DNA sequence: GTGAAAGCGCTAACAA
DNA sequence: TTGTTAGCGCTTTCAC
């Protein structure tokens, strides 16, 4: 019960009868040390259960901490989970540890998190920027050598490295797939807010595909949803239109869940669907869900690689890397337009 | 380009013409400060873009760092993502930040992560323990006041708080559901390794349900898989048995994906299924997937609440909290046994 | 091969 | 209301 304090370097030194510096030397394999001393020190360390205080070390050494700060909108979203896992894989070999937080797409929460990360002197800062967040304040940190990377979306007010999916091209390919099966009225169910980069890009890709096909862009066919439930309702509303869509394009993984669930609920097998971002069990649906798959592992890896290069002194211009998406045709896009139209 | 050093408290103090302590006071709203001084300090802080070094502060204050270390097997698994998000939600109000890492269920990686977290003097340590990991080394830290909580599985070699799902009861309820529809040969597809706590508990629940129903426990009906792909193959093997199961129980979310995908691939609608842990789109499958849903949010919340109570001085005995599961009947468990048997 | 002293950036304790 | 001194746990620097 005695809240005994943790042993320090000095405790170990005292135990062995050497100076603190000697212990430090042994532990960091810095400078020389006699075999005998080394042995004694190591024994004492084990005996006392000494664990060096990394914060104290960092303070003295002055360099950045061996952590990497990552802000995502939602830890529970599998897409961001996959990105985070990929980042971790890539930076682990460099001894970096992940400091993570979720912003809920709230600029204030994002700012609070990045401020905390900066106060901890993270080695690298990665952010999935929230709509409305400004990142001008990060400029000074970047200037002092902190790599800042935006992930999934570009940030505002700061020119720095950025890794995104090929949202526009992907959406265009997905919608073109639907057009190819004769659909002329294709609904778009996007996420919110409408100013969200991914939403805008994917909508733009949708519109490009329509234009390519000479189809009109009917605003009535464009819906939005915050979450899976809303996406289901938006789907129902679209299908209840006087002149309803015969196909739907889902703007992200969460929306896709809602769209697919609603079609299943209402037994509408006649509506073609393509979703942006892959979802679990897509291939087990009937029909199996055709998707524009993102590559979260590659996004994470690229972001990490870019940041590490900066850490190693890469001073080249900020670049935006676009990670390709891939149309995975599984069937749901192939419902032909019925004669009713 | 000049890798100028970051401003320190002393820089701010010099800029204003006061002592470092005064700046410290203003920033921490410690002690008094004249309106004028406060104003000047704040202005200088903004002008220099000063951000206090949290590590230095922590070192001096001596308490634990305002971080919480969390080790999960896989950041990309939505179950652990949901747990992590829930923990973060709960501890954010206390100003704690998440330090996260994935162990890949490897005891060495787990140990490396916990050691790093301990070296950072985390306020709380939460671990989803890997099979084969020993946690005796954590005892001394717990003794010094560090709350240690095992999540999803009990740890070995250390009696401390633990939060788990009602694995056994849940599995039993799920299998009983299948028994209720006349199934006498029910396959179990579990995860690996077989020594995994959740695997063993769920298998035990499965066996209890069989025993309750007076059904034999046929070892041939028990399969294992590491990942989704393997689970699909295991499913195929089970169904290819001379006397195959008419129903399957999937032992976790990943296995469920494989089982369901394989049944879809082979067009086997006659096989009943119940899965442990909910999966996205379960309700959109045909038939919709009946699951024993876990409650990752509640698991995370409970783990966090328990740990915070310890931080606040709760010295009561270590307790294991079991978070209830819930059978969500959606249809896939209701395929009746065909006459062929 | 080892140690003493100084200092990293910050705050506790005591003055003034 | 403000400043001074000392020291958190560690490493750097320089001496021996």
Per-residue pLDDT tens for A126-166? 999 999 999 999 999 999 999 999 999 999 999 999 999 99
Strand order in the sheet with A186-191: A222-225, A186-191, A247-250, A272-276, A290-293, A326-328
Q: Which residues pair with A334 in a beta bridge?
A: none
Mean local confidence (pLDDT), B69-76: 97
B122 pLDDT band, cuts 50/70/90, is very high
Task: Please report the pLDDT score of residue B2 as a whole number.
Answer: 38
Q: Is the pLDDT of residue B260 over 90?
A: yes
For residue A61, give the nearest of B99, B51, B53, B97 by alpha carbon. Answer: B53
Q: Which residues pair with A69 in a beta bridge?
A: A99, A125
CA of B56, C1' of C11: distance in angstroms: 9
Please state the separation of Cα B257 from the chain's center in Å: 19
Nucleotide nearest to B38 (CA to C1'): D1
- Residue in chain A nearest B300 by alpha carbon: A76
Give the architecture (CATH level 2) of A167-294: 3-Layer(aba) Sandwich (3.40)
Average model confidence (pLDDT) across chain B: 95
Q: Is the pLDDT of residue A170 over 60?
A: yes
Q: Is the CB of A30 under 7 A from strand D?
A: yes
Q: Which two tokens stand for residue B169?
A: 């009861």
Within chain A, all domains assigned CATH 1.10.260.40 are found at: 9-61
CA of B19, C1' of C2: distance in angstroms: 38
Percent of chain B's residues with pLDDT above 90 = 95
Percent of chain A's residues with pLDDT above 70 = 98
Q: Is the CB of residue A306 less than 8 Å from the CB of residue A87? A: no
Task: Please report the pLDDT score of residue B63 as a whole number.
Answer: 87
Q: How many CB pairs under 8 A join A and B?
A: 173
Q: Which residue has the tokens 């038939």?
A: B287
pLDDT tens by residue, B214-237: 999 999 999 999 999 999 999 999
A338 pLDDT band, cuts 50/70/90, is low
Q: Is the pLDDT of residue B250 over 60?
A: yes
Distance, in Å, from the CA atom of A252 to the CA atom of A209, rounded to the nearest integer, reads: 17
Kindly state which CATH superfamily the domain A67-165+296-323 is placed in. Answer: Response regulator (3.40.50.2300)
Q: Is the CB of B9 under 7 A from strand C?
A: yes
Q: Which of residues 195-254 of B touch strand D (CB under 7 A)?
A: none
Q: Which CATH number fits domain A9-61: 3.40.50.300, 3.30.70.920, 1.10.150.570, 1.10.260.40?
A: 1.10.260.40
Query: Of chain B residues 167-196, which have a CB less than 8 A from chain A?
Result: none
Within chain A, all domains assigned CATH 3.40.50.2300 are found at: 67-165+296-323, 167-294
Inter-chain CB proximity B284 and A101 less than 8 Å: no
Report chain A residues whose CB lies below 8 A from the CB of B143: 2, 4
Residue B27 touches partner A, C-beta closer than 8 Å: no
Distance, in Å, from the CA atom of A123 to the CA atom of B32, rounded to the nearest integer, reads: 35
pLDDT tens by residue, A216-239: 999 999 999 999 999 999 999 999
- Please state, in angstroms and as integers, the Cα–Cα distance from residue B319 to each residue in A200, B133, B140, B151, following that order: 50, 20, 18, 12
Q: Is the CB of residue B50 less than 8 Å from the CB of residue B89? A: no
Question: In sequence order, which ranges of B122-252 are alpha helices (DSSP H)?
Answer: 139-143, 167-180, 197-212, 228-239
Distance, in Å, from the CA atom of B281 to the CA atom of B268, rounded to the nearest integer, reads: 19
Task: Please report the pLDDT score of residue A336 as a whole number.
Answer: 78
CA of A307, C1' of C6: distance in angstroms: 35
Q: Is the CB of A19 under 7 A from strand D?
A: no
Residue A153 touches partner B, C-beta closer than 8 Å: no
Phi, psi of A107 (to 5 degrees): -60, -35
B338 pLDDT band, cuts 50/70/90, is low
Q: Is the CB of residue A88 less than 8 Å from the CB of residue B101? A: yes
Inter-chain CB proximity B77 and A82 less than 8 Å: no
Task: Please report the pLDDT score of residue B97 as a whole number.
Answer: 97
């Amino acid at each position: 019960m005695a809240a005994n304090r943790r042993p320090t370097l000095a405790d170990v030194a005292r135990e062995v009868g050497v100076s603190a510096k000697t212990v430090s030397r042994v532990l960091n394999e810095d400078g020389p040390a006699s075999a005998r001393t080394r042995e004694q020190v190591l024994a004492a360390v084990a005996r006392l259960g000494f664990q060096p205080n990394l914060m104290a070390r960092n303070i003295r050494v002055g360099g950045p901490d061996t952590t990497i700060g990552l802000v995502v909108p939602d830890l529970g979203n599998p897409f961001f989970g996959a990105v985070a896992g990929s980042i971790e894989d890539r930076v682990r070999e460099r001894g970096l540890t992940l400091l993570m937080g979720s912003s809920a797409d709230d600029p204030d929460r994002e700012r609070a998190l990045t401020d905390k990360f900066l106060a901890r002197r993270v080695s690298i800062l990665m952010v999935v920027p929230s709509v409305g967040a400004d990142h001008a304040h990060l400029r000074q940190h970047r200037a002092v050598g902190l790599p800042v990377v935006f992930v999934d979306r570009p940030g505002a007010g700061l020119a720095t490295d950025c890794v995104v999916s090929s949202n526009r091209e992907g959406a265009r390919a997905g919608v073109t797939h639907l057009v190819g099966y004769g659909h002329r009225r294709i609904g778009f169910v996007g996420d919110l807010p409408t100013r969200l980069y991914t939403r805008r890009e994917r909508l733009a890709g949708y519109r490009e595909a329509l234009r390519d096909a000479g189809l009109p862009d009917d605003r009535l066919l464009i819906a939005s949803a915050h979450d899976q439930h809303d996406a289901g309702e938006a789907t129902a509303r679209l299908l209840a239109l006087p002149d309803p869509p015969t196909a739907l394009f889902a703007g992200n993984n969460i929306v896709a869940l809602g769209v697919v669930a609603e079609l299943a609920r209402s037994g509408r097998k006649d509506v073609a669907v393509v979703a942006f971002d892959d979802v679990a069990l897509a291939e087990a649906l009937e029909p199996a869900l055709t998707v524009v798959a993102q590559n979260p592992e590659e996004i994470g890896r690229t972001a990490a690689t870019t940041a590490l290069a900066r850490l190693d002194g890469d001073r080249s211009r900020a670049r935006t890397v676009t990670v390709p998406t891939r149309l995975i045709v599984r069937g749901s896009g192939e419902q032909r337009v019925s004669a009713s139209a």
